[in-house]
Structure 1
Amino acid sequence: MYLRSDLVKSGIERAPHRALFKALGLTDEELSRPLIGIANSWNEVIPGHKHLREIAEAVKAGVRLAGGTPLEFNTIGICDGIAMGHEGMKYSLPSRELIADSIEIMAKAYQFDGLVMISSCDKIIPGMLMAMARLNIPSIFISGGPMLAGRYRGRDIDLHDVFEAVGAYNAGKISLDELKAIEEAACPGVGSCAGMFTANTMNVLTEAIGISLPGNGTAPAVSAERIRIAKKTGMMIVELVKRGIRPRDIMNREAFLDAIAVDMALGGSTNTILHLMAIAHEAGVNLTLDDFDEISEKTPTLAKLSPAGPYHVQDLHEAGGVLAIMKELSKRNLIHRDRITVSLKTVGELIESATVFRRDVIRPIEEPWLSRGGIMILKGSLAPKGAVIKISALSEDLYFFEGVARVFNSEEEAVKAIMNGKIEKGDAVIIRYEGPKGGPGMREMLTATAVLAGMGLDRDVALITDGRFSGATRGLCIGHVSPEAAEGGPIAVVEDGDRIRIDLRSKRIDLLVEQEIIEERLKKWSLPRKDLKGYLLRYSKQVTSAYTGAIFIS
């Protein structure tokens, strides 16, 4: 069996290398086996990652059981919830590129025969999958699993309830004691936040693509099943090495299209558009906003998980998980059944034994929540290159909106105005210079959207940004407006008092200003100066707008 790691451990000339490996305590027997790199994003500052040492130990046990030698290393990781609403969020999306680069560096330096990627949360997962596709050596992903929902006064709650409770408190709807009680109850333990937010959407999509084992997307973080999946993951990576099965054998265009279909059926996070496009780019697969729009049009929404509904990922797991969703979608030929997965079974073989156990959570495809998918791509004079809205968390009576622009050049300015009661019904809140280049870093606007919802304005106010939204966002919230303000897109020249029209039935978002006036404004426009240093300065110079996936193009 050919081993890449022989480059660093075999032959007379590699005696110094072996001496260094032996300084780690490795034996000749261990060095003769496939060397499996374990890329672990464990740290003590992300609830979804605090238990990943235990996951890694289970993976390593599986590697050893199958005859491999595991060698663990770490990556950075940011909790979007803790980074939310301040300067730290500018670093979240940019961390995706650093994570991909750091794994590439380690894999090339040590010539690992295979890789296991361990993560749970937002940008870390796609960063790892980007590295997986870029390197194209046998690889498999496992997450730490979803957090259980919290309980408050007889109902399940999660992190988005805390964000909205802040708005409710400011509106005088709940007391400080109630806010504190919700804060204490919402996040009961480790795992990625319990709703169908970005982290859990990405975990689910790793299973849909086929680069993680069945159950990975939904088995709770605290379950013994999660540990068993970790052990099987360790065993399977050795088998993938032996058979020479690589990521691009699995991560083909059909796999990405299936992932989009699952995303739409679950009403997942809009952030997945950025991430799937970036991962596909690394895999050499062309994926555009039009692909998302086309698939969303024909994919019914089968589940309403938080924030769109009362259910959480633990309910989806109990209902049959990702494979049950895919089986329903396959009834309309929305899933490519012949694709291979890291389980060494085809998608068709995997979904054959899948069963829907809870029809309240996963509806029959003949009786969906919506006849179309949960994400919609909009275009128009305000977003010529596209914009994104999560319509699964929006009632149909809000599909048309026309209002007056209230323009802010940062999230902080907008949140301050909302909290001070300066936003009224019928306002279209524009938050610009928050895109990938302009932020820089394309911050999530969960604080702004949650405060609006908590104050009871989410049905009467639109929020439009070249930044992005958390998967926990609900309401008339449109993000990823492209071209972004920093690239001279029309959003850069919207003025207070302009009228904005959103028509979801025609999939348009328009600035109701004559095109000649827009062009005249753009001629006078110049990019506001920001005092950038360090990584954000380098990032802003390399990153592209959201419609490309906010990737680096050299």
Structure 2
Amino acid sequence: MNSDKIKKGYLRAPHRSLLKAGGYTDWEIERPFVGVVNAYNAINPGHTHLNRIAAAVKSGVYAFGGLPLEFPVVGVCDGIAMNHEGMRFSLPSRELIRDSIEVMVKGHALDALVLIPNCDKIVPGMAMAAAELNIPAIVISGGPMLAGLTHGRSSDLNSVFEAVGARAAGRMGDEELRYYENTVCPTCGSCSGMFTANTMNCMMEVLGLALPGNGSIPAVLAARERLAKDAGRQIMLMIEKNIRPSDILTEEAFENAVAVDMALGGSTNTTLHLPAIADCAGVKLSLEKMDEISRNTPHLCSMSPGGIYHIEDIDRAGGISAVMRELYDAGKIHGDAMTCTGERVREKLKNAKVLDCDVIRPLSNPVDPEGGIAVLKGNLAPLGSVVKQTAVLPEMMRHSGPARVFDSEEAASEAIYGNRINDGDVVVIRYEGPKGGPGMREMLSPTSAIAGMGKGSTVALLTDGRFSGASRGASIGHISPEAASGGPIALVQEGDVIEIDIPARRLELKVSDEELARRRASWECPKLDSGSAFLERYRAFVTSGVEGAVLRKR
């Protein structure tokens, strides 16, 4: 065992003494050291209950012969961080989580990991650490929030963001807005739609790093606690069988994850996080591969924000295993990929079945013929851009209009809330990419404002930043190269015509090459200062959105 280096032999008497100072006995110290990474904090509603999950995990580890050693990591709530400087810290926290886990594992010679995340960047940050450290590891998330009930209809966090837009447009009063505020988020857990957190928790299950149910069992159900105990038990079996992330995180596993993501209509942020996890696992996952899989994978689940269902509906309809079974039977995913149980995907799916064909559609009757995400290229995005096409209204799948250019999210939001955006406009928000932000802020506030003000069918929004998984509409993000790197988005001027063609995967600035060359000759990157030493270090090392916004190794 890895932990032998700190607990075996007379030279390690001081180390054992320190462990005993923590209350551990000789017979406990002899057990495998299992790090229990608990992202609990009292701020993030997706994480406020994680101590309960951690306690269940530790009971499972302890009952099956391990010594659970709990330690924390940070966990930003993207909803609370939205639309102010706090969002600059969200994506960078992914790398901080990865690094802090490495510090604890290497510093204390741990043998295995049980990873307890729930929200957007915490899930991929933990998975990246598991891939790089390559010791037995399993993920058990905190589970999704139940959907709200607002005026007799299912609701979620996106509902109140859009209500803010309605309030700004004078279409809703303060009392009604407060009613939304009090009803859309009724329980702890990750926000209830197929937003980034829930998408990534489903991806952990598909990749094989988590047990069936990880992505869909609601946070408040006893079944979630039982699953946590099972995860504690399973990590001990993984130690015994020496099942490591390198056995699980293969090219086939990532292709499976992308296919299920497309069938679910998941968040555009998976185009950042899955390639980043793959990079840590030594696997290349390109935007082009993701788009190829999307073209060949029907969209089967009409999930919020683009549809009517929530994660609890997926759970009662058979869970993520049922979605995988539909795709496996159609030859859309690989059956030989290994999972954390030691079973192959095809074995894991033997008893899976769809229990509600309205929630999980058959391939013969999909919601859409293509998957959730489309990758657009053109002279405005030579390296690519990303849109959640299943959350775009049909009339906005093709759109041409004048650019309204803003050099920050705040400037754009002020114009939107001030009713200065007209039907047909294409809002451009730049200098918000990984370097420019820095931190590639999410744009849920402006996209929700556009929808809430009734302009979702007439106004598009483009950015080198990114969007919340809760965003909907013609919202095209991750434009690369970004403005801070001198990408073409930096050269757009007010009134330029921008042409969007999602079915053709094109994003074009209707300006001649000669004019763009003239503009480039006079372009200078504005001075960008975050006022944060941490963010400036991040800016210096971060790569582009098409590379997963990972940090350069050196």
TM-score range for the pair, normalised by the shorter chain length: over 0.9
For residue 387 of structure 1, give the secondary structure of its aligned residue in structure 2.
Answer: strand
Residue 104 of structure 2 aligns with which residue?
A: 106
For residue 498 of structure 2, give the secondary structure of its aligned residue in structure 1.
Answer: strand
For residue 198 of structure 2, give the secondary structure of its aligned residue in structure 1.
Answer: helix
Deviations 1:88-132 (A, max 9, x none): 000000000000000000000111110010010000110000000
Q: Does 2:36 correspond to 1:38?
A: yes
Instruction: State the percentage of identical aligned residues.
Output: 55
Shift of 1:162: 0.3
Shift of 1:340: 1.4
Q: Does 2:535 correspond to 1:536?
A: yes
Shift of 1:395: 2.6
Question: Partners in 2 of 1:530 and 1:302 — Cα distance?
Answer: 43
Shift of 1:320: 0.6
**For residue 544 of structure 1, what is the amino acid of its counterpart?**
T
Shift of 1:397: 2.6
Matches within 5 A, 1:4-83: 4-83=2-81
Deviations 1:106-159 (A, max 9, x none): 000111110010010000110000000010001000100000011111111000
1:286 maps to which of 268, 284, 287: 284
Deviations 1:443-502 (A, max 9, x none): 000000000000001110010000000011111110000000000000001000100000
Q: Which moved more, 1:149-158 or 1:376-385?
A: 149-158
For residue 13 of structure 2, give the secondary structure of its aligned residue in structure 1.
Answer: helix
Residue 546 of structure 1 aligns with which residue?
A: 545
For residue 225 of structure 2, give the secondary structure of its aligned residue in structure 1.
Answer: helix
Question: Partners in 2 of 1:88 and 1:395 — Cα distance?
Answer: 30
1:389 maps to which of 387, 390, 394: 387
Deviations 1:382-420 (A, max 9, x none): 000000000111132321100000000000000000011
For residue 36 of structure 1, give the secondary structure of its aligned residue in structure 2.
Answer: strand
1:307 maps to which of 305, 308, 311: 305
Deviations 1:228-250 (A, max 9, x none): 10000001111111111110110
Deviations 1:69-101 (A, max 9, x none): 100000011000000000000000000000000
Question: Partners in 2 of 1:443 and 1:34 — Cα distance?
Answer: 40
Question: Partners in 2 of 1:541 and 1:518 — Cα distance?
Answer: 27
2:156 maps to which of 150, 158, 162: 158
Deviations 1:186-236 (A, max 9, x none): 111110000000000000000000000010110000011000100000011
Question: Partners in 2 of 1:397 and 1:496 — Cα distance?
Answer: 24
Unaligned stretches of 5+ residues in structure 1:
none
Question: Partners in 1 of 2:244 and 2:217 — Cα distance?
Answer: 25
For residue 430 of structure 1, give the secondary structure of its aligned residue in structure 2.
Answer: strand
Question: Partners in 1 of 2:452 and 2:202 — Cα distance?
Answer: 28
2:239 maps to which of 238, 241, 259: 241
Question: Partners in 1 of 2:411 and 2:388 — Cα distance?
Answer: 24
Residue 88 of structure 1 aligns with which residue?
A: 86
Question: Partners in 2 of 1:539 and 1:8 — Cα distance?
Answer: 33
**For residue 115 of structure 1, what is the amino acid of its counterpart?**
L
Question: Partners in 1 of 2:12 and 2:428 — Cα distance?
Answer: 60
Shift of 1:334: 1.1
For residue 76 of structure 1, give the secondary structure of its aligned residue in structure 2.
Answer: coil
For residue 426 of structure 2, give the secondary structure of its aligned residue in structure 1.
Answer: strand
Deviations 1:266-294 (A, max 9, x none): 00000011000110000000110111110
Question: Partners in 2 of 1:418 and 1:460 — Cα distance?
Answer: 13
Question: Partners in 2 of 1:312 and 1:189 — Cα distance?
Answer: 14
Shift of 1:172: 1.8
Question: Partners in 2 of 1:397 and 1:448 — Cα distance?
Answer: 20
Question: Partners in 2 of 1:376 and 1:262 — Cα distance?
Answer: 15
Question: Partners in 1 of 2:433 and 2:225 — Cα distance?
Answer: 39
Residue 520 of structure 2 aligns with which residue?
A: 522
Confirm or deny: 8 A CA contact 2:78 2:120 kept in the other structure: yes
Aligned length: 552
2:355 maps to which of 354, 357, 377: 357
Q: Does 2:489 correspond to 1:495?
A: no
For residue 349 of structure 2, give the secondary structure of its aligned residue in structure 1.
Answer: helix
Runs of 4+ in structure 1 deviating by more than 4 angstroms, as ranges, are: none
1:146 maps to which of 132, 144, 147: 144
For residue 479 of structure 2, give the secondary structure of its aligned residue in structure 1.
Answer: strand
For residue 143 of structure 1, give the secondary structure of its aligned residue in structure 2.
Answer: coil
Residue 258 of structure 1 aligns with which residue?
A: 256
For residue 140 of structure 2, give the secondary structure of its aligned residue in structure 1.
Answer: strand
Residue 220 of structure 2 aligns with which residue?
A: 222
TM-score, length-scaled by structure 1: 0.99
Residue 505 of structure 1 aligns with which residue?
A: 503
Residue 117 of structure 1 aligns with which residue?
A: 115
Residue 421 of structure 2 aligns with which residue?
A: 423
Residue 134 of structure 2 aligns with which residue?
A: 136
Q: Which moved more, 1:277-286 or 1:338-347?
A: 338-347
Q: Does 2:393 correspond to 1:398?
A: no
Question: Partners in 2 of 1:233 and 1:330 — Cα distance?
Answer: 25
Confirm or deny: 8 A CA contact 2:403 2:428 kept in the other structure: yes
Residue 268 of structure 2 aligns with which residue?
A: 270
Q: Which moved more, 1:174-183 or 1:442-451?
A: 174-183
Residue 321 of structure 2 aligns with which residue?
A: 323
**For residue 395 of structure 1, what is the amino acid of its counterpart?**
L
For residue 231 of structure 2, give the secondary structure of its aligned residue in structure 1.
Answer: helix
For residue 377 of structure 1, give the secondary structure of its aligned residue in structure 2.
Answer: strand
Question: Partners in 1 of 2:547 and 2:264 — Cα distance?
Answer: 23
1:477 maps to which of 475, 478, 485: 475
Q: Does 2:407 correspond to 1:412?
A: no
RMSD between aligned alpha carbons?
0.7
Question: Partners in 2 of 1:174 and 1:438 — Cα distance?
Answer: 35
Question: Partners in 2 of 1:245 and 1:504 — Cα distance?
Answer: 42
Question: Partners in 2 of 1:294 and 1:331 — Cα distance?
Answer: 20
Residue 447 of structure 2 aligns with which residue?
A: 449
Shift of 1:425: 0.4
Question: Partners in 1 of 2:16 and 2:157 — Cα distance?
Answer: 48
Shift of 1:505: 2.0
Question: Partners in 1 of 2:209 and 2:519 — Cα distance?
Answer: 48
